Every structure is written in structure tokens, then in C-alpha cells.
A and B are shown apart, each in its own frame.
Chain A
Amino acid sequence: MEELDVEPAITNIPAASDGKHLGFAWGPGDILAYETLYKASSGAKGSGCSFIHEVRKDEDIYSPILRKLFNESHHIFVGLQTIKEDLPSKNKKPQFVSISKNYRSVIRACMEELQQVAVSTKDAKVAMQYGNQVSILLAIELIWNLAEVLFIDSAPAGSLLLHLLDWVRLHKADVDEKATEVLQSESPAEHKDYWDVVLSYVMQGRLEESRQMLVKQATLHPAPRSMYKLMDTLLSKMPFYNPGGNQTLTEYDVKWRHWHEEVDRCLQDNSFASNKHLEIICRILVGDEDTLLEHKELLGTWYHFLVTRLLFSHPTVQPTELHYYAQSCMTMFLDSRSVPEPLDNILLAAFEFDIHQVIKECSIALNNWWFVAHLTDLLDHCKLLQSHNVHFGSNLREFLLLEYASGLFTHHSLWQLAVDYFDHCPDLGRVYLELQIERVPLNTERKALKVLRICEQRQMSEQVRSICKIMAMRALKNNRLGSALSWSIRAKDAAFATLISERFLQDYCARGTFSDLDLIDNLGPAMLLSDRLTFLGKYREFHRLYGEKRFGEAAKLLLSLMTAKIAPRSFWMTLLTDALPLLEQKEVIFSAGQTYELMFCLEELTSSLSSVAPATDGTMQDEDIEQTKVELLRLALARNLAMAIVKEGTVST
């Protein structure tokens, strides 16, 4: 047994009484638990409990707002799979980046909606639940964004820092809120949060905005104007790397160092000594870590600290150097807390470019495979995952997709999405689908039709047969013979069609008329599905011909039914009895040859009947009736034969 990564979480089942033993059974997505006795001893009778508890791991798929996430991401997923393979991966990068942004915007939209509901609801429990979901989604989006920057976009040095700056700005939205608050007050420069806002702008590299804020202060205190002017100059001259321009990284580096030295000189000269705020800003610009650490609450997180530090001390950082800085920043920032949170570990693993560790940690931390499945799939398309085989066969991407889709299948409604996920797992997807699709409950015909369509499109003939059989049996039980027949036609199930025809024939024997004439009259080519069905159709045709008084054709048909052995032996008596009225007509309908054949059939029938031992509980009356019938038939056949011979022997003038 392998070592566990984390201790398993304990879930209490509140409704179960204390001290009772619980039995359990695994389901596809949940566990059923029930109270039981430990040993099934014969005498013991415990108090029974009639409850079964269902323990569900993943509550999220039942949340109505999160459902939108699943549906929209499914759409994006299917679009991603169908990107053409002819371009080399490098040219597809912008496409992948835009798909990644699509996923992220879906997450954001969901988050906003959840936030709205969490704020507006009056139910504290719901508010807390939604609040938790919002924070989880925030974390997910943060990780995804970082993955996009580092792995998918894989920016080189120079642009890397710019992307990281964007990343941090996106996830620290409270700066803008504070700024608006400050600006809307009557005297912004004297607001208590004024300097916080300025510092936050500087730390996020938003120097334009910080300059605009500083102007307000400058106008308020005209005396130290030269200081403000100097600060303004420093802020405006900070060089930012322009990826589209024709400046190389080295040139930029030189320019930046130049500026850095200038700032350092100002610091050494004590130019800002009289104003402590400006002094702080200057220290930050120089990249002084201690000053940054003094403003931990403004930074909020260690990764913000990391990016700010890099911005002001090493803006040309290479991707491969990131993890040194990340590790050290995290240690410096978190020294008051002992254990880093799971999110911190995940981000650290990302900075170390250890994709597998990121995925592994996320899988452990989250209760739902949605995030890891989609992210891994995208990274796999970018060809970033080496084939890393998990112990359970199939590669990592497929494993995660299968797990996610299996979870979806347990949902009463989202199972349709899972089908597409299984389709895109080349190794085991089909097998999973075959097993799961049969277990979808089929309440209405419409649902059965949709499930059937899924199976037929993938040539899963076994499943088609079994589903059609279920529906046909159901229809048969409700006496809907036509429906049952149409289901068996769809499955091309000859055996069932035979069964249904037998039912029709039994009905006929019992009642003397056919039910469901509209069905039998209009069978068309489906008649050929089974022999019994063909017989039914032809027999009905015989009745029709008889009704239309086309006796000659009717007679021929009747005979062919027996001689071509389409009719089951058990029905021959009925057929012969049907022939009686034809034999008794004034006109000769059956020719001599046909009469001989009829007689032959009768003999065959009676000989086989007599060879079978009579049933012990057959009443005497039945036997008498049979006997009378046979005698009548013999008589009629003989008479017909006579008339036929005479007629055929007569020369007509």
C-alpha cells in the first residue's frame, strides 16, 4: 500500500446514532451507509433503523450556478479537441492562450454570480456556502492564470515580469476600490488611506496613477515642491520593457540599471529625508526588501511581494530563476506562520515549473476534478506534459478526464456532457461509456431516444440492443404492442419481434379479431425482420383479401403460408379452419392440385397430433371438437376435390 499524501478527512454522519456500527456500499460517486450489527448473531435483535445515509463527495455539481461552469467549459473543451492538428504547436500558441482566457472568463462569470447571491441572500448558511465557493473559485482562477502565464504563454524574460504584473493586478482588486473611495472624498490628499493607495500603486508598478495621486499632495503642500518634482521625475523615467519594440533585453537592462542607480543616489543624498512617505516610496523603488516587508498588509500575499521585489530589483528575471526568488520570498513573508497553506504550495510548485506537482496538489486540495481535468487537458494539447504513466494504466490526462466524467455521470442531468469527455479519451473512454450509459435511468421515451442516439453514433450495438429491449418490454407490459414492435425494429431484434407477433396471434385466437390493425396493415419491409412477423403480416393480408372478396388470391396466399412453412405448426389448424368457407363456396376456388396440397397438410397435422400423447387434463370436449373439425375438413376437401376435378376436366366451349 502506498504512502498517503495527506491524512484522509473524517466526515461525521450526524443522523446515525452513537455507538452503532455502520455498514456501507460504494457507488459511482457516493457511499451509502446504514446502521447494522457487527456480527450477525442469531439471537440478537437490535433496534432497527430505517434510514440509509448517502454520503456525497462532490456537492458542487448540484449547485445551480456552478452548473453553468460545467456546461460552458464543456463547450470550450469540445472546441479545443477539434483544433486541427496540421499546424505545429508553436503556431497554435495564441489559440491556446485564447482558450485559456475563455476558461478563465467562465470561471470569473461564475464567481461574480455566486458573489451576488452570497451578498444578497438572507440565509446565513447559504451565504457561507456560496462565500466558500467564491473563494475556491478565486484560488482556482489565480492558479489557472499563473499556469497560463508560465506554461502556456511561456513568456521569456522581460515580458515574463510584465505578465506577472498583470497577474497580480488582476487579483488585487481592492486597490481600485480604495482609490475610488479616496478620490471621491472632499480632500483626497488628506484621506487616511491616501498614502496606502499611493504605495499600492507603486508596488503594483502602476506608476502613472501614482504620479497622478501625488500631484494632489503636491498641490496641497506647495512648499516642498522640488521634492515632489524629483519624485515625479523618478517615477516617470522608470523604464518598462516593450516586447514589441526593437530594444533587446540587454539594452533594456542597461537602461534600467541606469535608472536604478539614479534612484539610489537620491536615496543616499537624503533628498527625501524630510518627508517620510516619499522616503518610503524611494526605498521601494530601489527594491529594499525590508521596506516592502514593513507593508505586508498592503501587499497581502507573498506572491505580490515576489512580483514587486522582482519589479524593482530584477525585472529581467529569467523563468528558470523564478523559483529561487519565489522560495525566498515565501520564507521572508511567512515567517510568522509556520505552515504554508495548500494554495501557497501550489503556487510555489508552479514557479518551479513542476507541472505534475501542481496538478497533484490541486487534486488533493479540491473536491472536484473539474479544474485539474481541464487544465491538464489544455496543457497536454500544448504538449507540455511528458507521458507520465499513472499506476492505473493510461496517461495522466486521460485518467483525470475519466475521473471527472465519471463524476458527471452520476448526476441526473449532466451525464450528457460526460459522453463527450469519454469520446476524447482514446484508451479507456469507450469502455467507460459502454458501462455507464446502460445505467442511465430511462423514465421517458424521449430520454431513451437520446441515449439510443448516443449509442448508435458510436456503434455500441450491445447497448442499443439492451436499451431497446428494456423499452420494448416496458411497452409490452403496458399493452402497447405497436411501440414494442417499433423498438424491436430499431434494435433489429428478431427474437423480440417474434415474441410480439406471438402476442398478436394469441390475441387473435382469443378474440377472433386483430387488434392494432393500423400497425399490422402497414408493416412494410419491417415484416421481414422475423418469420413470425412475416406470417402475421401475410395472415392479415389474407383476411383483407377475403374481406375484399378476392378469393382466388386469398386461397393462394393461404396455401403458400402453409406450404412455405411460414406459418407455425400450431396455427395450421386455424388456417385450415379458415380455408373451410373457401372450400364451401359454390364456385371452385382451390384447384385440384391445391386441394391435394391441403389434404397433405391436414394429414401432416393429424399425424403429428396423434403421435403426441394426449394431455392428461385435456377435456373430452376439446378432443371432440378437434375431431369434428378434422372430419368437417376432410369432407369439405373431398367435395372440393371432386368439383375441382370435374371442372378441370371439362372442356369449356
Chain B
Amino acid sequence: MESVNAKYVSQKISKTRWRPVSHSTLQQPDIFATGSWDNEDNKISFWSIGNPGSSSLDDGFEGDPQLLCEHKHDGDVLDLQFLDQDKIVTTSSTGAVTIFRHHQNSQTISVSQRCSPEIVTVGEDGRIVVFRADQEGVVRVIENADSSTIHAVTYLRTTEILTVNSIGQLKLWDFRQQSNSPSQILSLSGDRVPLHCVDRHPNQQHIVATGGQDGMLCVWDIRQGSAPFSLMEAHSAEMWEVHFHPSNPDHLFTCSEDGSLLHWETSAQSDMPSFLQGGRNNSMISRSAMAPAGGNQSLISAWLSGDSSKGRVETTHMLPSQTLSVNSLDVLGQCLVCGTDGEAIFVNRQVPV
């Protein structure tokens, strides 16, 4: 792929994330953060890919990411999220949660994530811990939430979270309840393959995608069934991250230990709103009950079209082959960044979404 270049950075990358761009402008993202792992001195770093669109060189791809600044980090960087334009929060293999501010690189302890100023963290000890951004200290701890390692967590709604663990279960937790047990448990029947990553559909909160140790991509419908809706063979080794594209959720990206990064594109057969198409999608929603979140979106996401002949899923590899494990990826707008164990960062600015 011509528009993908490797930048070698002398550290194994465990996480990369784009800095969020404000929704009002239609700018492409230009700054991303990375965290390293397996070093004696781990670091978080901020990189810039320059100003896309400012120069008219071939396809707008100007060159390597440039290092803006970096900061020492205690322990492996296990997760990294942007809180806002200049603050990021990281979790470490020492069990610490830290917030860094860009341009100053100072540390303050507070926590926050996405929609609400609340951060939830999970780990190898099987606890779920909730912090609040502005107060110090912990808001809520669910001890012994899980007897095995919880690998990933995501917010479904402001009061509900979803966790995946190493015995292959998805657990739904409702914070409005006081009990320390999950409100719902979903799992694959058959082998209890550990699940490593989970991501929620940006517009339809009941659709969740997970990836596991055997490289299978599962799409679940939370509201019904305790089994995944569809299973797709994706990779030949652990899948480390799965992401729906935030503005174009018919596209999904996964990366894996086997060194590949896949771009999944699903397309419904026609553009007609699905309630006019008769009963072809047998599952799903009582359509009357479900009001679409906005505009003219199709009520049924193409991800949940059970019949494979009616909806297509196309997969494309996005990296040259033979890289070491791709540990992390992030996609925003038309830009994709990923980091590998071969100490390389790949940036693609021409993602076809």
C-alpha cells in the first residue's frame, strides 16, 4: 500500500490513540499519542503528522510522524485514552492510573472518560474500580467482580458497562444497582476462549464487537440472546483491539498478534430503509419501539444482518505482511494509526471510509 509508511521509534508500542478533533471543524486528526511497553524505561509520547491538506504533495502524504514530546512512564502502558484536547489518562502494569497533560507533562491524579467525567478501570485482579474526574479517590469498587482477569471494559450507557474476561464471558454491569454481580452474562457456548477487546457500536448501543484469543471476531446483540450474533474468523492469533469507525460505523478495524490489521466493511444490499423491506431480517427490534437516534439511519445495522447472502462483509489487509504483532490501532476520520512490536508506527491517511 503506497500510502502506508513505517516509522521506527525504538520502543515497542502497546497503545496508540488519536487526539480528538472538535466536531465543528472537518479537520483530519494530526496528533496522536503512543505508549510503550516491555522497556526498562517506558514512555508516553506525542507525535504529529503535520498539517494534512496544507501541501499538495502526492496524495497528501507528507512524511513521517515527528516526535513532539515524551514523558517517562512507570510500568508498561496498558491503556491510553484522551480525556480532552490536552489531557490523557494511562493505566500501567504497576496498577496505577495516571493523567498527563500535553505540553507540560505534569501529573495530576484525576480520572475521566468519554461521556462522563468518570473512569472505570479493570485488571488482572478481577476488580472493577470507578473513579471520578474531579474528586480524588475512588467512587466505587466492585470487589471480586470476576474470578479471572478482566481484559477490557467499555461504557454502554452512562450507568452501564460491559467487561470481557479471560474465560470468554461478556458481563454487563449496572451501576444503579447496589449488588456486586453482573446484570447479564453472555458467553460463547463451547470452548471458553479468552476475550481480549470489546467495542460498542457508536450509534446503536446494543451492538458490541469482541475479539478473542483465537482471533475470532464476534458481533453481539446485548438485548437478546446470550450467544453472539455472528462469528467471523478474522486472525490466526490473538486479536488485540477492535474498533468501530466513530463516524462511519459500517466499517470496523481489528488488529492482531499475527501482525495483520484488517478493515471490515459491511454493506446492506440496498439503501432502502429496512422497515420497508418486509420481513427479511428475522431477528431484531420491534421497530416501533425503537426510535432511531437521529436522521435517516437504517434501523437495523448491517452488522446484524444474519443472512450472509443479503449483506456482504469485505475484508482488506491494511499493512504489508510480515510485521510483528500489531498491538494497537486507532481510527478517526480518514486517518488510521497503529503500533507494532517491531517498534514501528504506521500511519495511513487515506483510509477508504
Contact = CB atoms under 8 A, between A and B. Distances in A.
Contacts of B148: 480, 482-483, 485-486, 519
B343 A67 contact: yes
B21 interface: no
B68 to A, nearest CB: 17
Interface in A454-472: 457
A525 B191 contact: yes
Given A413-B39, A416-B324, A519-B167, A482 B257 contact: no
Contacts of A446: 14, 37, 76, 78
Contacts of A485: 147-148, 167
22 contacts: A64-B11, A65-B10, A71-B10, A71-B342, A75-B322, A79-B322, A413-B12, A416-B324, A416-B341, A416-B342, A443-B76, A445-B124, A445-B166, A446-B37, A447-B37, A449-B213, A480-B124, A482-B146, A482-B148, A482-B166, A486-B167, A524-B191
Interface residues of A, number: 41
B194 interface: yes
A526 B167 CA distance: 10
Contacts of B9: 68
Contacts, number: 121
A67 B10 contact: yes
Residue of B238, B341, B343 with highest tally of chain A CB at under 10 A: B343
B213 to A, nearest CB: 8
A425 interface: no
Given A413-B39, A480-B148, A526 B322 contact: no
A75 B342 contact: yes
A445 B194 CA distance: 12
Interface string A509-542: 0000001101100111110000000000000000
A481 B166 CA distance: 12
Contacts of B190: 524-525
A79 B6 CA distance: 15
B167 A482 contact: yes
Contacts of A457: 237
A281 to B, nearest CB: 43
Contact of B192 (A445, A449, A486): A486
Given A75-B322, A75-B342, A486-B166, A524 B189 contact: yes
Interface string A66-81: 0110011011001100
What are the 6 A-B residue pairs with the smallest beta carbon separation, nearest first? A482-B147, A482-B148, A516-B147, A68-B8, A67-B10, A64-B10
B163 to A, nearest CB: 11
A489 interface: yes
Contacts of A525: 190-191
B266 interface: no
Interface in B131-146: 144, 146
B86 interface: no
A483 B194 CA distance: 10
Contact of A412 (B40, B187, B192): B40
A155 B221 CA distance: 65
A453 interface: yes
Interface residues of B, number: 47
A524 B207 CA distance: 25
Contacts of A526: 191-192
Given A453-B257, A486-B167, A519-B148, A524 B192 contact: yes
Contact of B194 (A71, A78, A486, A522): A486
A525 B189 CA distance: 9
Nearest to A63: B10
Given A71-B8, A482-B146, A518-B182, 16 more contacts: A67-B10, A71-B344, A74-B342, A412-B39, A412-B40, A413-B39, A417-B324, A445-B166, A446-B14, A450-B257, A482-B149, A482-B165, A483-B147, A489-B192, A518-B169, A518-B171
A525 B10 CA distance: 43
A481 B344 CA distance: 37
B257 to A, nearest CB: 6
B76 A444 contact: yes
B325 interface: yes
B125 interface: yes
Interface in B149-183: 149, 165-167, 169, 171, 182
A522 B192 contact: yes
A526 B188 CA distance: 13
Contacts of B116: none
B169 A478 contact: no
Contacts of B192: 486, 489, 522-524, 526
Given A64-B10, A485-B148, A522 B167 contact: yes
